[in-house]
Amino acid sequence: MAGKHSKSIFASLKDALVLQIESKLHNKSEMSLPFKIITMVLVVSLLLSAVLIGRFFAVGNSQKKLLNNASAYFEELGGNEAIKTLSKENDDIRGWLNISGTDISCAVCQGEDDRYYTNHNQLGKKSRYGALALSSADSFERTGNDRNIVIFGNNMKDGTMFGSLKKYRNLNFYKQNPVIELYYGDTQEKYAIFAVMLVASYNDDAGDIYNPAKSHFADNDEFKRWYSESVSRSIIKTNVTLDNTDEMLTLVTSANDFKGARLVVLAKKVTDREASYINTVNAVVNGKIKYPKIWYTERGLEYPY
């Protein structure tokens, strides 16, 4: 609706300007050369702006149609059959991610380069929307004892891709939607969210870099240190606990809190029964969140850790 409204405004402005020019042309004595030049520049700029805005909204509408069609396959055929059907159009499609309460119900691709699907859609065509992408270092089957698999997605303003992942910064939203569904092959998995945090893509914590996507741990002590750090950084104290045997899923998108900010949602694999009985009643906002060093620096605060 906003796109159509914007186009109509530009059309009205263009028509008004054209009428003004025609009026001036009937009385050439009133038009100086500088006025003619300025007027023509304005007309050209206006027309170009209208074209660019039209293309911008056209791409958005095309992307939404692509996502809606894929989602229709998912609803009609079920996760695994939908993946098989969609992968005929692009064999990089590996699975499907679904999160209730969000706009996230999308195919998950995997390329040889993690950057590829930041600007290519699920059909492999150039697009600013990109596609949800499994890290090239991972596999859904978790080969090599991979404890933590990572999916990336763009933070789109219209809420598509991982644009609605930011909803998990809200306690009430988390309480109502604590489960992530993942489909691949003939498998359906569920994950309970245990942490939501901001991290820095670089210059984090004076060189002591915390990696929320860490997938291998030397021993239980190393895992405990990593898990403790995850809890201290989480915006929400979820009360979902982990042990050294749990398998995890990490969702990553960009954020606007500081330069290079990333919003990360961490979840652990649970059974269907466990997913039905996640206790979110006692979840609370973390009163002492540990942010990356750059978060404090950009606010003129001393890094307290």
- Give the number of other Cβ atoms within 10 Å of residue 232's Cβ: 16
156 shares its domain with 277: yes
145 shares its domain with 246: yes
Cα(9)–Cα(107) distance, integer angstroms:
36
Check: pTM over 0.85? Answer yes or no.
no
134 shares its domain with 246: yes
44 shares its domain with 172: no
84 inside domain = no
78 inside domain = no
Q: Is 20 left (phi over 0), alpha (psi -120 to 50) or beta?
A: alpha
For position 272, what pLDDT does the model report? 95
**Confidence label for 143 from pLDDT (cuts 50, 70 and 90):** confident
Tallying the residues shown for the chain, one arrives at 305
Q: How many domains does the structure of the chain reveal?
A: 2
The 10s digit of each residue's pLDDT in 212-225 is 999 999 999 999 99
Q: Which residue has the higher pLDDT, 29 or 252?
A: 252
50 shares its domain with 98: no
CA distances to 19, 57, 79, 106, 251 from 132, in Å: 48, 21, 16, 7, 10
The 10s digit of each residue's pLDDT in 168-211 is 999 999 999 999 999 998 899 999 999 999 999 876 666 677 89
114 inside domain = yes
Is the per-residue pLDDT at 32 higher than 70?
Answer: no
152 shares its domain with 30: no
158 inside domain = yes
82 inside domain = no
7 inside domain = yes
282 shares its domain with 141: yes
42-46, 47-51, 63-67 — most confident range: 63-67
Asked if 123 contacts 90 with a C-beta cutoff of 8 angstroms, the reply is yes
For position 100, what pLDDT does the model report? 92
54 shares its domain with 142: no
Q: What value does the mean pLDDT take over residues 40-65? A: 55
137 shares its domain with 39: no
Whether the CA torsion 79, 81, 86, 91 is positive or negative: it is positive
Q: Which residue has the higher pLDDT, 84 or 180?
A: 180
CATH of the domain at 208: 2.40.260.10
Asked if 304 contacts 295 with a C-beta cutoff of 8 angstroms, the reply is no
22 shares its domain with 130: no
128 shares its domain with 240: yes
207 shares its domain with 255: yes
**Residue 195 CB partners (closer than 8 Å, separation 6+):** 212, 230, 231, 233, 234, 236, 238, 264, 265, 266
147 inside domain = yes
End-to-end distance of the chain based on CA atoms, in angstroms? 48
Is the per-residue pLDDT at 13 higher than 70?
Answer: no
Is the per-residue pLDDT at 31 higher than 50?
Answer: yes
The 10s digit of each residue's pLDDT in 217-249 is 999 999 999 999 999 999 999 999 999 899 999
73 inside domain = no
Domain hosting 58: range is 2-67
The 10s digit of each residue's pLDDT in 93-102 is 999 999 999 9
For position 5, what pLDDT does the model report? 43
Is the per-residue pLDDT at 291 higher than 70?
Answer: yes
